[in-house]
Amino acid sequence: MSLYGMMRTGVSGMNAQANRLSTVADNIANSSTTGYKRAYTEFSSLVLPSTPGAYNSGGVTTKVLNAVAKDGTLQYTTSGTDLAVQGNGFFVVQDASGSPYLTRAGSFVPDGQGRLINAAGYQLMGYSYANGIPAATANGFDGLVPVQISSSELTALPTKNATFTANLQSDAAVSAGPLPSTNAAGATYTSKSSMVMYDNLGAKKIVDIYYTKTGANTWDVAVYDQSKAAAGTSFPYAAGGLLTNSTMTFDGTTGKLTSAGSLSFTVPNGAPVTLDISKMTQLASPYTVTKAVADGNGPSTIERVEIDTDGTMYAQYADGSMKPLFKIPLADVASPDRLNSLSGNVFRESADSGPVQIGFADSGGLGKMISGALENSNVDIAEELTAMIESQRNYTANSKVFQTGADLMDILVNLKR
């Protein structure tokens, strides 16, 4: 056995315990850091070739990893933009230069431009609804944009989809006069309702919907722009007043609609609208409206935002309407503990972690997104203090090995004297 080898082994042990103490120090310092994942040290032996009767001591090497896969406890807050992941997945964020990273630190607050920034200065990324319902880019960060909320900007959304559901009285009399769809003076109808819709500028447009029984299980439906109605009588409407008309037929046994279940027309100065009437019925009961809803909203500012468990961010406007703005994705890797840990509580994929896969929360094995909550660090102070005491004693023992080797070396050097 070489005395030098013995001393090197002692130094190796001290270095290994020093690394472990360093991770303990980091863990204790970040025990209150949102989304922090504790670092831990893995030890591996170094064995040198030996011959019979002469053992060569090797040493120990260490590898520092982070317990990324272990969740921290959730702490609920009063801010709707505080986010936590319950289960697998990471938020996608970017730094000022646009480089993407992964994080579990979801303490996001709007900056001066309305971008959601966490405590480390990273911007939350998501898919915008500006071009329709978003889809995740599974194997890359393409398509992601900074999530931005402008509370001072007035926005208006035209009506594109509406639903009208009602019961038409089956024993109503057949209309004897001109149908509303003819737009003739003195036109008669069986039932009428009106709905509020919005044009491209957010102005309210009221449409009149006429239902007229024309025969057994057959009804005429006509939709008009109320602004073009004749004063005091409605009919005849001015030119361009008729938006659409159609014939509705019902099953005489069940009372269910058997004809087309939707009407299409364009709101004046607005967008094409699809009016869903598929749930209309014809039963022996008075005319009763059970549902009349239309999307869109007038000019309004954002009052607050809500984030669903699937990551959809909705804006609630001052008039009470809701509009989806962004869909926040989650990213995951095959081996989260092998991610590279960087300053600011963020991670980046490594060769050992596997490539990043992106999807939406609560699907494909990804966890739920919890709004109004933060994930605490997964550090256990009692466990860290125990590890610190253990490492301190092991460090002392390794120093004794080195000291003993040094003493023996002194004896060896002094043999000649």
For 99-112, the pLDDT digits (tens) are: 999 999 999 998 88
Q: Are residues 208 and 292 in the same domain?
A: yes
Q: How far apart are CA 181 and CA 209, in angstroms?
A: 10
Query: What is residue 340's predicted lDDT score, i.e. its pLDDT?
Result: 92
> What gap in Å lies between CA 213 and CA 174, rounded to an integer?
5
List Cα–Cα distances, 61 to 14, 76, 113, 137, 268, in angstroms.
11, 41, 48, 40, 75
Asked whether residue 105 is domain-assigned, the answer is: yes
State how far the Cα of 210 lies from the Cα of 192, in Å rounded to an integer: 5
User: Is residue 314 assigned to a domain?
Assistant: no
Q: Which residue, 321, 302, 330, 316, is CA-closest to 106? A: 330
Q: Is there a single domain that holds both residue 129 and residue 200?
A: no
Q: Are residues 273 and 234 in the same domain?
A: yes
Residue 120, domain member (yes or no): yes
pLDDT at 213: 96
In a domain, 183, yes or no: yes
pLDDT of residue 152: 59
Q: Write down the pLDDT at residue 1.
A: 54
Share of the chain above pLDDT 70, in %: 99
Asked whether residue 188 falls in the same domain as residue 208, the answer is yes
**Residues of the chain falling short of pLDDT 70:** 1, 151-153, 416-417
| Domain span including residue 360 | 75-151+325-335+344-370
Q: How far is CA 108 from CA 57, 149, 358, in A?
A: 52, 12, 20
Reply yes or no: is the peptide bond before residue 100 cis, omega within 30 of 0. Answer: no
User: Domain containing 197 — which CATH number?
Assistant: 2.60.98.20
Residue 317 within a domain: no
Global pTM reads 0.68
Residue 312 lies in a domain: no
Same domain, 51 and 124: no
> Are both 161 and 147 inside the same structural domain?
no
pLDDT at site 416: 66
Phi, psi (degrees; rounded to nearest 5) at 68: -70, -35
Task: Select from 16, 11, 10, 7 the least CA-distant residue to 391.
Answer: 16
On whether both 234 and 293 belong to a single domain, the answer is yes
Number of domain units in the chain: 3
Is 309 a member of any domain?
no
Is residue 405 a part of any domain in this protein? yes
Verify that 248 and 206 share a domain, yes or no: yes
Residues 154 and 300: beta-carbon distance below 8 Å? yes
- Pair 282, 361 in one domain: no
User: Are 138 and 186 in a shared domain?
Assistant: no
| Same structural domain, 237 and 202 | yes
Same domain, yes or no: 190 and 250: yes
